[in-house]
Structure 1
Amino acid sequence: MSKSVFEQINDQTNIVELVSEFISLEKKGKNFFGLCPFHDDTNPSFSVSPEKNIAFCMTCKTGGNPINFYRQIKNISYIEAAKELGARLGIKVEDQKRSSRYDLEYEIMNKANDFFKFTLHNTTEGLKAKEYLIKRGLTEESINHFEIGLANNDYQSLSKMLVDQAYEPNLLMTLGLSSRSEKNNELYDIFNNRITFPIKDNTLNVIGFSGRSVDPKDNIKYMNSQETPLFRKSDVIYNLYDAQDEIKKLDEVLLFEGFFDVISAHQIGYKHGVATMGTALTESQAKLLRRHAKRVVVIYDGDNAGINATHEAIPKLKRARLDVDILRLPNGMDPDDYIKKNKFEGFKKFFETNKKDSYRYYYENLLLRLDPNNANSVQAFVRDVNLLFQDASAVVMQMFEPEISKKLGFDFKFSKVDIPSKPLPEAKKTERKQVLNKYINAENDLIFELLKRKKHLDLIKDSLIPNTYVLLENYQVLERLVSFYETREFLILSDFMDRLPNNLREHLEKNMKTNFNWQNGITLESDTIKNHLGVVHSYSNERELDALYEQMDPDNPQESLEILNQINKLKQKMKTNKRRDK
């Protein structure tokens, strides 16, 4: 890339608009100022100069021209930053892909997507699935626009096609497309008998899939790609980059729960919709939305689950400095159903007359519990409404005060409410964190070994003793892994994860990000497995020791003496076991 192209990108990129995608700015004189995104800033020190077209922090000395700023804020290379900013301007840049590091991975994922699309349009199974989509109200145009495909019921066709094209099986497994059977060592497709929705990143390359079952007997309706070097579910949003031009034009994004909601909205002209792929919105997803728009309209399902998800999403979106509006659908309907029933005019009218800002939304919920003739009810309402508006601007408060006064029948003014803090629990004994980590790591390694392969299942299963665990969540995951393998020769990670309750799935996903063996694809031999099992079992002695110490009572010396004898015997037993293990 020539120097003139770098200069062209910097010259044509509006630095104020670019920085405003990431932080709030306030104009002071010729320049704009905001809190620095590169360090813990409490006094706005990040200066943006439209005249010089640069952004710079006077404290941490970070920033520079548009490409430099964008490189630092996105944590990517200078070339990558230039490519992405150049694409916004329509400036042709050689090698459009984000990074040569993942060229091969992108190539494989895009070929998998092409394979799924071909299957949908050119096979008997595909035509049946396509008929289902059309019955659901999708048009041929939408099916093509959203690149919907089908993973057939062959179980091996995608893997065989990719291996025949000389792609490494291990890479197919890393990308969550294939899994290897322990029984016959053959590759099997992870997505089977499912309608596929490709998930893309900011380069518009496919990084993962979500598959919707076409079998009504399948208990798992949707299955998402496992975590891969390209795909992290908590950091991606469906249709965000395909819709980014429309989102930028309107400076607004419609946030749905599901794919069909996005597609139905798109078909009636609302082309700035995205979806969280059926899971709770994460903080990183909220921040990602803020990079593309200033305003978000949350349009989740109208049932209790959708309402609860809305309540959880609002504070995350507000923390990301987004203006939040909410559209609650009636009678428990989801957006897809509502649009199909009421068409464009009906949805447009409902959208325009029922969209509420977050204050109005919560305020109307509080009104449902208000009895203006009951002193206790009024007192609780006044407390709650003050808490609700404690972060609101003076303008917002002035807007609501007359309305609240009318509801209460007396003059109401907002006042500060002290939120009582919970008393701190009594300090516990300092745990030997490093020692505890040894036991937890051993338990985690056993879990991740079973997630990768079935080879040591019997060894681990025979040693799985009830109430012998370091973390209860780990024991519960191990139990489910053993049960899962009872009817299967190999494990499809996303299938297993989707069967876990939320608390165990979140626990496992968190550990995946830090476990060395999982991150590096390391498998364990039987001797290491036996050693890890011994470490886990020995933790029961540590736990028993802690329990005995807790029972010692200074006011009862006789009983404490007996407990002390038990402690000494247990310590001796632990020493003996340690020498034997060596």
Structure 2
Amino acid sequence: MPIDRHIIDEINEKTDIVALVSPYVNLVKKGKNYMGQCPFHDDKSPSFSVSPEKHLAKCMACGEGGSPITFYQKIKNVSFPEAVKALATPLGIKVDVEIVENPTLKEHELMQEAANFYMYYLNNSAYGKTALSYLEKRGLTSDDLKHFSIGLAPKEKDALFQILKNKGFDPTMMMDLGLVKQREDGSYYDLMIKRITFPIHDTHGRVVGFSGRALEDDPVKYLNTPETKIFKKGEVLYHLFQASKDIRMQKRVILYEGFFDVIASYKSGLGNAVATMGTALTKKHAELLKQVTSDVIIAYDGDKAGQSATMKAIPILEEVRLRCDIVSLKDGLDPDDFLKKYGVPAYQAAFKETIDPLVFSYDYHKKGLDLNNSNDIQEFKSRIKKMLKFKDQSIREIYYRKLAKDIGSSYDSVMPKDTQFGTPDQKPVLPKPKPVTNKSLKKYYGAEIQLFIAMTQDYDQALRIEQALGTQFVADMDLFKLRGSLMLGYYPNHAVFDIDTFKDILNPDLLKAFETKVLSSLTWKIAPIYKEEAVTELLSVMQTITIEKGMIQLRENILNEPEAFTKANYAEQFKQLKNSKLKGKVNS
């Protein structure tokens, strides 16, 4: 059930915003407000403003923050319902929201105990001294070890098993989580032996798995715990939890292939680093990144495999509307080796010279081809055509001119003759427009208000609606401008919609429009939850507005200049309106 809007407003109004922010920001009173250094970005001067009067805590530089609920949600990295519940309880406000208890609480406790044991053993054993010496030679300090919770799996074959057993954990659960195995005689032994351990955390900071590097000679250099009910490689990014604050501060994330690359990045001062866990990037990985940033730098290895992985990652990131750029390190070195060879300044400089994904893709497709060979020329043209298939027309023109120059041909000879809607022999099947029954624009205005409210309830839904409506299907200019403020000024910096924060980015005219046309509407007060079917129906209504506007204009023209119209040319103009409407729906 959705949380009543009045309860949300009550929590925001009654929460002492200064007391809430103080544990995270050193506040100094400045007139009516308080100022401090922003906890969400690398703030050189106090930019974070806290207003007790407006119940807002917001950075004047990066725009992060908002109402008490929004601030708590972001600083604690919890869900909106969890933030509401946490702030409502001390105020004595009853909230009808169900916080689902963690069904894997015991499993996470067991994994944390394992991590604690590994860390203790590293720092408090004779064998640990050998491991510490190795780690020091790799350049890791005690602070690095603490930040990454690095530990050591002992020589003894069942040391972890015995510790966990003495703490009352079930051996079956230890096996299910991949920490121990069982011999045929029924005895148990540890999976990790004589290995440096790197715990893997989920987005809530809970340990879900381990990766271990052999400390002594071993044919298996790296060993990961297997996938379990709480550990899915395609759904976890190494270091994402620890890097979340740095990512928000830098407003971008660096994506690596391995965890030693992440450690090297952190040591070089680039703490906004994550890595996939020995698997290709998945859409779930991209969605996790989308929760904390809109900008990704791919920093995979410079070898052939790394470049291939980069090519596969680009469309996955772009699918969820993430901007991505690529870092190409010279000599084809991986990030860890590059840092060792060239040092921190050179490493940091490399990340200031990122490559556009289309530039990278174009060069990748060109590599290895002989452009004096007709077969390779045809292959190159085919690859570039596929690369540009869904790109903007201006981008297509730039790269087709580049292609023509590279193969020694003319622009006209390489530019495809088909349009973005398909070749003449592949005509798209176009949907029929809904018949218009209401001759006024009133129903479109109502539909547009509902769609805007739906956009405030879910970011992915907002993207879908914005793409469908665009600049063509508009009933009210104020609502059109509010859509623009929501998608360009609000959502890039905020994961969840907050009324007060949104109001703060509006100019006086738009603020008035928001309050009179949206907040005062009956739909807003009822606060319905818009499901996919309802949004689809509202979009269908809006996508008939062009023909309706055209019909209105046509009728006005007939009234004003009746002598200029015959039955035949009226029918022809009506047909043109319908065709225009159909094309508009394809574009949307």
**1:288-327 paired onto structure 2 within 5 Å:** 288-327=288-327
Check 1:157–1:272 CA distance in 2 against 1; reply closer, same or farther (3 A cut). same
SS of 1:344's equivalent in the other structure is helix
Shift of 1:374: 5.6
Q: Distance in 2 between matches of 1:84 and 1:252?
A: 25
Q: Distance in 2 between matches of 1:373 and 1:232?
A: 47
Q: Distance in 1 between matches of 2:230 and 2:382?
A: 47
1:83 aligns with 2:85: no
Q: 1:338 touches 1:347 (CA, 8 Å); kept in 2?
A: yes
Letter aligned with residue 210 of structure 2: F
Letter aligned with residue 360 of structure 1: V
Q: Deviations over 1:373-418 (max 9, x none)?
A: 6655544433332221112123423443554454436335742678
**1:519-530 paired onto structure 2 within 5 Å:** none
Q: Distance in 2 between matches of 1:98 and 1:262?
A: 33
Shift of 1:92: 12
**1:473-552 paired onto structure 2 within 5 Å:** none
Q: 1:207 touches 1:230 (CA, 8 Å); kept in 2?
A: yes
Q: 1:195 touches 1:212 (CA, 8 Å); kept in 2?
A: yes
Q: 2:233 touches 2:279 (CA, 8 Å); kept in 1?
A: no
Q: Distance in 1 between matches of 2:162 and 2:344?
A: 44
Residue 205 of structure 1 aligns with which residue? 206
Q: 2:214 touches 2:220 (CA, 8 Å); kept in 1?
A: yes
Residue 499 of structure 1 aligns with which residue? none
Check 1:342–1:98 CA distance in 2 against 1; reply closer, same or farther (3 A cut). farther
Letter aligned with residue 139 of structure 1: T
Residue 511 of structure 1 aligns with which residue? none
Q: 2:8 touches 2:84 (CA, 8 Å); kept in 1?
A: no
Q: Distance in 2 between matches of 1:380 and 1:175?
A: 48
Letter aligned with residue 202 of structure 1: T
Q: Distance in 2 between matches of 1:178 and 1:372?
A: 56
**1:110-259 paired onto structure 2 within 5 Å:** 110-183=112-185, 185-216=186-217, 218-259=218-259
Check 1:372–1:235 CA distance in 2 against 1; reply closer, same or farther (3 A cut). closer
Q: 2:381 touches 2:403 (CA, 8 Å); kept in 1?
A: no
Shift of 1:117: 0.4
SS of 2:237's equivalent in the other structure is coil
Residue 535 of structure 1 aligns with which residue? none
Check 1:380–1:166 CA distance in 2 against 1; reply closer, same or farther (3 A cut). closer
Residue 99 of structure 1 aligns with which residue? 101
Check 1:99–1:133 CA distance in 2 against 1; reply closer, same or farther (3 A cut). farther
Q: Distance in 1 between matches of 2:229 and 2:286?
A: 21
1:360 aligns with 2:359: yes
SS of 1:241's equivalent in the other structure is helix
Check 1:226–1:118 CA distance in 2 against 1; reply closer, same or farther (3 A cut). same
Letter aligned with residue 399 of structure 2: F
Check 1:104–1:365 CA distance in 2 against 1; reply closer, same or farther (3 A cut). closer
Shift of 1:369: 5.3
Q: 2:338 touches 2:347 (CA, 8 Å); kept in 1?
A: yes
Q: Deviations over 1:506-551 (max 9, x none)?
A: xxxxxxxxxxxxxxxxxxxxxxxxxxxxxxxxxxxxxxxxxxxxxx
Check 1:173–1:338 CA distance in 2 against 1; reply closer, same or farther (3 A cut). same
Letter aligned with residue 358 of structure 1: P
Q: Deviations over 1:455-498 (max 9, x none)?
A: xxxxxxxxxxxxxxxxxxxxxxxxxxxxxxxxxxxxxxxxxxxx
Residue ranges of structure 1 left out of the alignment (5+ in a row): 13-65, 72-78, 420-582
SS of 1:118's equivalent in the other structure is helix
Q: Distance in 2 between matches of 1:92 and 1:313?
A: 46
Letter aligned with residue 193 of structure 1: K
Check 1:378–1:176 CA distance in 2 against 1; reply closer, same or farther (3 A cut). closer
Check 1:214–1:7 CA distance in 2 against 1; reply closer, same or farther (3 A cut). farther
Letter aligned with residue 313 of structure 2: A
Shift of 1:263: 0.7
Q: Distance in 1 between matches of 2:288 and 2:405?
A: 40
Q: Distance in 2 between matches of 1:134 and 1:178?
A: 29
Letter aligned with residue 287 of structure 2: K
SS of 1:211's equivalent in the other structure is strand
Q: Distance in 1 between matches of 2:271 and 2:328?
A: 19
Shift of 1:205: 1.4
Q: Distance in 2 between matches of 1:85 and 1:360?
A: 45
Residue 382 of structure 1 aligns with which residue? 381
189-198 vs 303-312, greater mean Cα deviation: 303-312
Q: Deviations over 1:220-276 (max 9, x none)?
A: 111112222211122111001111122123332111111110011111111111011
Q: Distance in 1 between matches of 2:134 and 2:125?
A: 14
Q: Distance in 1 between matches of 2:206 and 2:7?
A: 24
Letter aligned with residue 248 of structure 1: R
Q: 1:301 touches 1:307 (CA, 8 Å); kept in 2?
A: yes
Q: Distance in 1 between matches of 2:196 and 2:362?
A: 41
Q: Distance in 1 between matches of 2:417 and 2:327?
A: 29
Check 1:107–1:301 CA distance in 2 against 1; reply closer, same or farther (3 A cut). same
SS of 2:352's equivalent in the other structure is helix
Q: 1:303 touches 1:331 (CA, 8 Å); kept in 2?
A: no
SS of 2:210's equivalent in the other structure is strand
Check 1:378–1:174 CA distance in 2 against 1; reply closer, same or farther (3 A cut). closer
Check 1:201–1:375 CA distance in 2 against 1; reply closer, same or farther (3 A cut). closer
Residue ranges of structure 2 left out of the alignment (5+ in a row): 16-67, 93-98, 424-588
Q: Distance in 2 between matches of 1:248 and 1:170?
A: 40
339-348 vs 362-371, greater mean Cα deviation: 362-371
**1:551-570 paired onto structure 2 within 5 Å:** none
SS of 1:101's equivalent in the other structure is coil
Q: Distance in 2 between matches of 1:105 and 1:270?
A: 32
Residue 504 of structure 2 aligns with which residue? none
Q: 1:369 touches 1:377 (CA, 8 Å); kept in 2?
A: no
1:340 aligns with 2:340: yes
Check 1:190–1:369 CA distance in 2 against 1; reply closer, same or farther (3 A cut). closer
Shift of 1:85: 7.8
Residue 397 of structure 1 aligns with which residue? 396
Letter aligned with residue 210 of structure 1: S
Q: 1:199 touches 1:209 (CA, 8 Å); kept in 2?
A: yes
Check 1:98–1:350 CA distance in 2 against 1; reply closer, same or farther (3 A cut). farther
Q: Deviations over 1:192-221 (max 9, x none)?
A: 1111111111221111111111122x1211
Aligned length: 352
Q: 2:211 touches 2:224 (CA, 8 Å); kept in 1?
A: yes
Q: Percent identity?
A: 35
Q: 1:159 touches 1:188 (CA, 8 Å); kept in 2?
A: yes
Q: Deviations over 1:411-456 (max 9, x none)?
A: 357426789xxxxxxxxxxxxxxxxxxxxxxxxxxxxxxxxxxxxx
Q: Distance in 2 between matches of 1:340 and 1:98?
A: 46
CA-based RMSD of the aligned residues comes to 3.8
Report runs of 4+ in structure 1 exceeding 6 Å deviation: 2-5, 8-12, 84-88
Q: 2:314 touches 2:324 (CA, 8 Å); kept in 1?
A: yes
TM-score, with length taken from structure 2: 0.53
SS of 1:154's equivalent in the other structure is coil
Residue 331 of structure 1 aligns with which residue? 331
Check 1:182–1:410 CA distance in 2 against 1; reply closer, same or farther (3 A cut). same
